[in-house]
């Protein structure tokens, strides 16, 4: 994720992510859960820009716009993670946040695709440049972890194994490009509710964890079918109980014969792993006529 300057405006493209594997290792005393997950950034982007305000003393503001075809309602600008991240960075640097951020949303919300977290990471990168702070990525990652569990991942610029509550990021080199069809059904799932359901029913979760090591080895060796067998999301059962249409959606994706299909993050979006970018686009065309919601063909980046 890099900030570019165009005349007096700075801009960043903020990618979405998919969890190709998500193990929930247990709940913690601080209310979070320990995870082990393999996250892949994908080529579906929000666009964040920043320009100086006309008067230097004006408060820092955020304008929100949606490029979302379903016209899904955007959460209000005030609690948006862009302003939260901007404030945390300014506090750390001992300056006042300033200027106008403009965010054009394409990544569906409450989808498990990391849109809000990616916007927050983009804000840190952009404001670090625009406000001439000059912090290193390591320093930004510490601030990022306070903003949200998935925010540090987006500073890594590539696939990564994430642990802890998500903030311990280990970039994974050497993965081939991956191609996906993604469906975001109407309606989203709040992350806290899905984890809350998992916690309440944790004694019922009999499912084995996926081995991220063997998943990575299979992906690196191009053994996509074996890799697909190792892809698993341990929040999927909880999310499907809260939103039964997820089960129907996965059945629809499965009917198109992907390598495998699963839910991303805490849902509600689900994806099929395709054998090629062409197959991902074919599945997207078919699914557009079969399911309600937004359908995307995306590749990893």
Task: Give me the residues that bind ligand C5P (CB under 6 A), please.
Answer: 31-33, 35, 148-150, 165-166, 191-192, 195
* Residue 150 a catalytic site member: yes
Out of 105, 119, 150, 184, pick the active-site residue: 150
Task: Say if residue 30 is exposed, middle or buried (CB neighbours under 10 Å; 0-12, 13-18, 19+).
Answer: exposed
- Least CB distance from residue 35 to ligand C5P, whole Å? 5
Whose Cβ is closer to ligand C5P: residue 3's or residue 16's?
A: 16
Give the separation between CA 164 and CA 28, rounded to whole angstroms.
10
- Least CB distance from residue 199 to ligand C5P, whole Å? 8
- Least CB distance from residue 39 to ligand C5P, whole Å? 12
Whose Cβ is closer to ligand C5P: residue 35's or residue 86's?
A: 35
Per DSSP bridges, beta strands 100-105 and 61-66 are: parallel
Give the separation between CA 283 and CA 288, rounded to whole angstroms.
8
Backbone angles phi, psi at 205, to 5 degrees: -80, 100
Give the separation between CA 41 and CA 227, rounded to whole angstroms.
18
CA 49 to chain CA centroid, Å, is 19
Whose Cβ is closer to ligand C5P: residue 124's or residue 178's?
A: 124
Whose Cβ is closer to ligand C5P: residue 148's or residue 159's?
A: 148
CA 205 to chain CA centroid, Å, is 25
Give the separation between CA 205 and CA 148, rounded to whole angstroms.
26
Asked if 11 contacts 127 with a C-beta cutoff of 8 angstroms, the reply is no
- Least CB distance from residue 32 to ligand C5P, whole Å? 4
Residues designated as active site: 17, 150
């Amino acid at each position: 994720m890099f900030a570019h300057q165009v005349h007096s405006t700075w801009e960043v493209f903020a990618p979405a992510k998919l969890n190709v594997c998500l193990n929930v290792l247990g709940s913690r005393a601080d209310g979070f859960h320990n995870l082990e997950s393999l996250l892949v950034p994908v080529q579906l982007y929000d666009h964040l820009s920043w320009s100086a305000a006309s008067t230097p003393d004006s408060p820092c503001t955020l304008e929100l716009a949606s490029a979302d075809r379903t016209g899904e309602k955007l959460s209000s600008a005030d609690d948006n993670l862009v302003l939260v991240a901007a404030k945390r960075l300014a506090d750390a640097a001992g300056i006042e946040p300033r200027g106008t951020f403009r965010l054009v949303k394409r990544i569906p919300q409450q989808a498990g695709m990391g849109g809000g977290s990616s916007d927050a990471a983009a804000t840190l990168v952009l404001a670090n440049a625009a406000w001439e702070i000059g912090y290193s990525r390591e320093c930004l990652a510490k601030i990022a972890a306070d903003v949200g569990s998935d925010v540090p991942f987006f500073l890594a610029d590539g696939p990564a194994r994430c642990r802890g509550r998500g903030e311990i990021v280990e970039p994974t080199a050497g993965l081939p490009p991956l191609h996906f069809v993604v469906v975001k059904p109407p309606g989203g799932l709040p992350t806290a509710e899905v984890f809350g359901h998992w916690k309440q029913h944790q004694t019922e979760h009999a499912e084995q964890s996926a081995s991220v090591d063997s998943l990575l080895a299979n992906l690196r060796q191009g053994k996509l079918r074996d890799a697909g067998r190792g892809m698993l999301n341990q929040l999927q059962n909880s999310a499907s109980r809260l939103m039964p249409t997820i089960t129907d959606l996965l059945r629809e994706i499965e009917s198109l014969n992907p390598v495998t299909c699963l839910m991303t993050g805490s849902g509600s979006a689900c994806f099929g792993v395709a054998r090629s970018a062409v197959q991902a686009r074919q599945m997207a065309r078919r699914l557009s006529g079969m399911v309600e919601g937004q359908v995307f063909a995306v590749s990893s980046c």
